[in-house]
Structure 1
Amino acid sequence: MTQKLLFILLIPFGLFAQKFSHADSLRGTLSPARACFDVLHYDLHVAVNPAEKSISGTNSIRFITTQQTKEIQLDLFANLIVDEIRWANKKVNYRRDGNAIFIQAAKLIPAKQVQTVWVKYHGNPRPAVKPPWDGGFSWTKDPKGNPWVTVSCEGLGASVWWPCKDHPSDEPASMDIHIEGPKGLVSVSNGNLVEKISKASTDEYHWRVSYPINLYNVSINMAEYAHWSKTMKQLNGKNLDLDYYVLKENESIAKKHFEQSEEMLRIFEKYFGPYPFPRDGYALVETDYWGMEHQSAVAYGNHYKNNKFGFDFIIIHESAHEWFGNSISCSDHADLWIHEALGTYAEAIYVEEKFGKAKAQEYLNGQKRNIRYAFPIAGPYQVNYQHPDSDMYFKGTWMFHTLRNIIQDDALWFKTMREFCLAFYHKNTNTQEVVEYWSKHLNKPIKDLMLNYLYQVKNPNLQYSILQTGNSWTMRYRWSNLSDAISFPLTLKSGEKIKPNSVWQEIQLDHAPELDEESYLFDKELLK
């Protein structure tokens, strides 16, 4: 770790909006009781009772110890009741500390041992307040009055509804998800449907995920869904299964509207590499909230609306997360910008490929107007940091747009983008690794500039003055808030290149200078 990055990671938490509690530390820190094991597989069974807005279930957690231990920490919100916990099929003791459960083994477990802990629980899970931003369980009705149950828990945490090691660094290699609900309701989750088991008054759907999965991506979608399937030929020549689940009354409009998902997948494959979860397929599932990137079961709730550019940005943005967020995943809540900045930048790449560079710039200009400059893009480590602001989306995408224009080599830029996706395929990563990768492969001194965008609230500020004498113009310029260690060259609209630093420089021109504010993210200050 470089000294500069270490300094940035130690920035006082006072710069961030959230006040951190003991519960946040328990959730966000890899304490000894969490660091001592890695999860291999979850086998989750959940019965959903819409009438009582309750759930009951079990989770079998298979893990391997990374060091000797006699205690592990799992997470489950305190309002849910633990009925019993077994370790190696023997009932064991545990203690609660808010949303954390500390489970004691019957004996000291050596390192490199595969173990299984089984948890039985029940209760009324937290209802969603404003999903997906303030999530939980959504207990709503479809237009015909039938139950419609969905879950959204990014930031809030999967432990809002099921027991798990709720830290982004530990994704299971695979997962089985069993959802039981009232007869007649279709229960959709991640991965592939293994079987449907019909019982006297309920139906149980067994889904299997065959890849690593972010825990906040694990989903329940329960409704009277219509379902259809298609097969798409990928750019690599292989077939990809596509599945769609929508309310029955929306089937006709959805079949037409969702056609854009195939073109989108091909565009993303071109720039980011093959679809990351081919065995599990791709699915869109209608939800009663706007959308979420639930892996291989993308939540869609934008009411079949296209924007002024002629596409549904929820389909595009949430599906982009299959690459950025689901395949490439952050290892700490502080690094969620990796998901959102790149997922949002993918929208601009989609627009450029489909409509051309001018339309993409128009799209980016619209995103730029949403930057608020209230909080840093990146957050503090080892706490349950929930980003309070949208700048990791829009300032983040403009950071990448700026880097592309500094590089001025689109072939290298998109080669690096694609190779980045392949290098971090199905991996957890962090700010340091991502910044180092882009800096190395673009072969430009961009690392310090990236860190400035990520950890400073304000943009680089260009102070400048213009003096005209007859047909000659003199522009003086400097960065007022960047150290000379940060390289941020600019190209004027007329093509002249300048390399501002903290010292005043000047350039002589035979025309009035114009700064290019569509290619770079910076503030300007004209001095008289």
Structure 2
Amino acid sequence: MTLHRIAFALLCLGMTGASLPKKGEPPITAQTQKSGGPIDPDQARLRFDSADLAFEVLPETQTLRGIATLSFTAKALLDRLVVDLDRNLPVDAITIDGVTLASTAWSNPEGKLSVTLPRAVPTGGKVTARIIYGGQPHVAVKAPWDDGMVWAKTPTGEPWFATTAEGSGCDLFWPCLDFPTGEPGVVTLHITVPKGLKAPSNGILLGVEELSDGRTTWNWRVKQPNTYGIALTVGPYEQVSGSYKSRYGNTIPLFYWYLPGEEEKARGLFAEFAPTLDFFESEIGPYPFSDEKLGVVETPHKGMEHQTINAYGNGYAKAPEGFDWLFHHEFAHEYFGNQMTVANWDDYWLHEGYASYMQPLYGRWREGNARYATMLAEQRKSIANLRPVISGKVRTEEEVYELAKGGPGQDIYYKGSWMLHTLRGLIGDRAFRSVTRLAVYGRIDPRPGNFTPRYTSTDAYERIVRRVTGKDYGWFFDVYLRHAALPDLIETRTARGLSLRWDAPGGRPFPMPVDVQSDGRVVHVPMTGGIGRLWVAKSAHIVIDPDAKLLRRSVAIERYQAWRDAEARRAKVAN
């Protein structure tokens, strides 16, 4: 520990005269920029058992110094260790199983640190690397939509900073396996911060050490965290805490860290924690991290689903639905993202679609169908249908979230949400709850202690639906996930009644049932083979899908979107 502190002190002295990086600096390589995608063959040989991460953050020089002790099990013969680490954080020293390596034993030209091992590690063998590194980490331009360190000041001028890493990944701050299945079994964090600052982080607080010069080291431990969910968040925080007695019989610790001077607003947000938990536990199942905490921390960026320490930066905004959508959305990711994680970014609609659908479903739970319909209608306006939701390939985060790189973009949020809404109407509430529970926990009877975080995929989700319902809904998922265009319901009114026909992309039959309201009476039309007929009087007033259960093409919305986009372009030119 003494050598650790000496290294930090030397770094601080060396950086005193250094200039501070601007937003987007220092630049990162294409390797560091991407997260996920095809897995490096050397990294595929590793099972990540544990990480012990010691950080010191120096806001005056915007410097990060770290000592990472990483333990792995070899799944195949290993002669080198490959981990991801931004080259802006150069390595000072590496030891392997206690043996100090010469500097020629490692290289990191593009952000993939390759270490030649002093001896080969056989299948099933263990290897532990201790990596000392540090420098000025990349500064985010507009977090959390891009990643890096966010340096800020509180309204009273005190240091306030945070990390965000979903897009580019954990390698911006620590040596890791930067793909979804690279989760370590356990991570222990030691975060040393200047006097007067606090460092709430993931998992359970093991203790706070006060150093002789007034700095403090905050020690945390978290089990099986999502790698981009490891978070450094530092500020002069105050804390409100409490506990929630779960309907499953256990007690869950609740914490919110906020900036000084905001106690009334903070307590207002904190009051949402318990009812939100009650909703999720009633609709989905037990809170996945009840033996750690439900934690939220105020950040100088909008938000992120950092496991058990969700980032919140919504400014305590008020909304007509009566709850904070950002807190709710990020909390939903504790279930859909942290407990249930997809192995491939291509399937991230399961994270974002479910997390987005939980808001209108919560509105329904609180106020009924009118609020549910209103919130879904607001989401519907944002569905773009420019790309299929999934590609069937192994993709990086950017290849999914960015339209410019061929991804579906925000459709993984809102189209995913509406698809789930339509699925729930199709298979019924009871089956939908069972499907969701199996997807999240891998079992229908979750209880605290009988499940752990798990990986899933779109294909696995389809199999769950088939298992629960006893029916093959491949036609449903093919249209909504694997094609960009929405199915179009063609209506033909004749003297003999009403004819309905689904025109679905891909040309396959789309047997989605349709409700038709005729003079106030609702008739359920099966649409076998994608075609349905209904006798109605010539004078009858017809409303198709009166409860808006179906995600389908809307000419009105397409015209609205075209007008909205044209107005935005016109305003941009005028300014």
The answer to whether the superposition gives a TM-score over 0.5 is yes
The correspondence of residues 479-498 of structure 1 with structure 2, limited to 5 A, is 479-484=503-508, 486-493=510-517, 494-498=522-526
Compared CA separation, residues 225 and 24, structure 1 to 2 (3 A): closer
TM-superposed CA distance for 1:480, in Å, is: 4.6
TM-superposed CA distance for 1:443, in Å, is: 2.7
Partner of 2:498: 474
Q: Secondary structure at the match of 1:138?
A: strand
TM-superposed CA distance for 1:500, in Å, is: 5.7
Partner of 1:405: 425
Compared CA separation, residues 435 and 392, structure 1 to 2 (3 A): same
1:519 is aligned to 2:539: no
Cα distance in 2 for residues equivalent to 1:354 and 1:205: 38
Partner of 1:65: 74
Cα distance in 2 for residues equivalent to 1:81 and 1:427: 33
The correspondence of residues 8-27 of structure 1 with structure 2, limited to 5 A, is none
5+ long unaligned stretches in structure 1: 1-19
Residue type matched to 2:456 in 1?
T
1:76 is aligned to 2:85: yes
Among residues 486, 501, 505, which one is paired with 1:459 in the alignment? Answer: 486
Q: Secondary structure at the match of 2:273?
A: helix
Among residues 220, 236, 239, which one is paired with 1:207 in the alignment? Answer: 220
Among residues 32, 41, 55, which one is paired with 2:41 in the alignment? Answer: 32
Partner of 1:441: 468
Tell me how many residue pairs correspond in the alignment: 501
Q: How high is the TM-score relative to the length of structure 2? A: 0.83
Cα distance in 1 for residues equivalent to 2:416 and 2:500: 29
Q: Is the 8 A contact 2:170 2:228 kept in 1?
A: yes
Compared CA separation, residues 264 and 380, structure 1 to 2 (3 A): same
Q: Is the 8 A contact 1:58 1:120 kept in 2?
A: yes
Compared CA separation, residues 477 and 392, structure 1 to 2 (3 A): same
Q: Is the 8 A contact 1:475 1:513 kept in 2?
A: no
1:46-79 deviation per Cα after TM superposition (whole angstroms, max 9, x unaligned): 1000011110111111111111111222001122
Among residues 492, 499, 504, which one is paired with 2:527 in the alignment? Answer: 499
Q: Secondary structure at the match of 2:416?
A: helix
Residue type matched to 2:47 in 1?
D
Q: Is the 8 A contact 2:486 2:504 kept in 1?
A: no
Identify the range of structure 1 (67-76 vs 48-57) with the bigger mean alpha-carbon deviation.
67-76
Identify the range of structure 1 (71-80 vs 483-492) with the bigger mean alpha-carbon deviation.
483-492
User: What RMSD, in angstroms, separates the aligned Cα atoms of the two structures?
Assistant: 2.1
Q: How high is the TM-score relative to the length of structure 1? A: 0.90
Identify the range of structure 1 (40-49 vs 68-77) with the bigger mean alpha-carbon deviation.
68-77
Q: Secondary structure at the match of 2:280?
A: helix
Partner of 1:391: 411
Partner of 2:434: 415
Q: Secondary structure at the match of 2:188?
A: strand
Cα distance in 2 for residues equivalent to 1:288 and 1:195: 25
1:426-459 deviation per Cα after TM superposition (whole angstroms, max 9, x unaligned): 1012221122212321333323311331222111
Q: Percent identity?
A: 27
Q: Is the 8 A contact 2:94 2:129 kept in 1?
A: yes
Cα distance in 1 for residues equivalent to 2:228 and 2:362: 26
The correspondence of residues 164-183 of structure 1 with structure 2, limited to 5 A, is 164-183=176-195
Residue type matched to 2:549 in 1?
S
Compared CA separation, residues 451 and 173, structure 1 to 2 (3 A): farther
TM-superposed CA distance for 1:154, in Å, is: 0.7
Cα distance in 2 for residues equivalent to 1:277 and 1:26: 25
Partner of 2:125: 113
Residue type matched to 1:499 in 2?
M
1:498-518 deviation per Cα after TM superposition (whole angstroms, max 9, x unaligned): 41646x654322334422171
Q: Is the 8 A contact 1:67 1:111 kept in 2?
A: yes
1:254-296 deviation per Cα after TM superposition (whole angstroms, max 9, x unaligned): 1123201110001100111111001111111111111111111
Partner of 2:12: none
Compared CA separation, residues 79 and 490, structure 1 to 2 (3 A): same
The correspondence of residues 63-142 of structure 1 with structure 2, limited to 5 A, is 63-92=72-101, 93-142=105-154
Compared CA separation, residues 118 and 311, structure 1 to 2 (3 A): same
TM-superposed CA distance for 1:22, in Å, is: 6.7
TM-superposed CA distance for 1:125, in Å, is: 0.6
Compared CA separation, residues 97 and 430, structure 1 to 2 (3 A): farther
Partner of 1:54: 63
1:144-201 deviation per Cα after TM superposition (whole angstroms, max 9, x unaligned): 0000011111121011111111111121111101111111100111011111111114
1:71-110 deviation per Cα after TM superposition (whole angstroms, max 9, x unaligned): 2220011222111222112233122241111221112210
Compared CA separation, residues 476 and 296, structure 1 to 2 (3 A): closer
Q: Is the 8 A contact 1:379 1:385 kept in 2?
A: no
Name the structure, 1 or 2, with higher relative contact order (CA <8 Å, separation 6+): 1
1:95-144 deviation per Cα after TM superposition (whole angstroms, max 9, x unaligned): 22411112211122101112111111111111111111112110000000
Identify the range of structure 1 (81-90 vs 215-224) with the bigger mean alpha-carbon deviation.
81-90
Cα distance in 2 for residues equivalent to 1:413 and 1:332: 23
Q: Is the 8 A contact 2:240 2:270 kept in 1?
A: no
Q: Secondary structure at the match of 1:520?
A: coil
Q: Is the 8 A contact 1:406 1:490 kept in 2?
A: no
TM-superposed CA distance for 1:331, in Å, is: 0.9
Q: Secondary structure at the match of 2:489?
A: strand
Q: Secondary structure at the match of 2:505?
A: coil
Cα distance in 1 for residues equivalent to 2:124 and 2:169: 28
Q: Is the 8 A contact 1:335 1:430 kept in 2?
A: yes
Residue type matched to 1:422 in 2?
Y
Identify the range of structure 1 (23-32 vs 445-454) with the bigger mean alpha-carbon deviation.
23-32
The correspondence of residues 297-376 of structure 1 with structure 2, limited to 5 A, is 297-376=309-388
Compared CA separation, residues 32 and 216, structure 1 to 2 (3 A): same
Q: Which 4+ stretches in 1 moved above 3 angstroms? A: 20-27, 379-383, 482-487, 504-507
Structure with the higher strand share, 1 or 2: 1
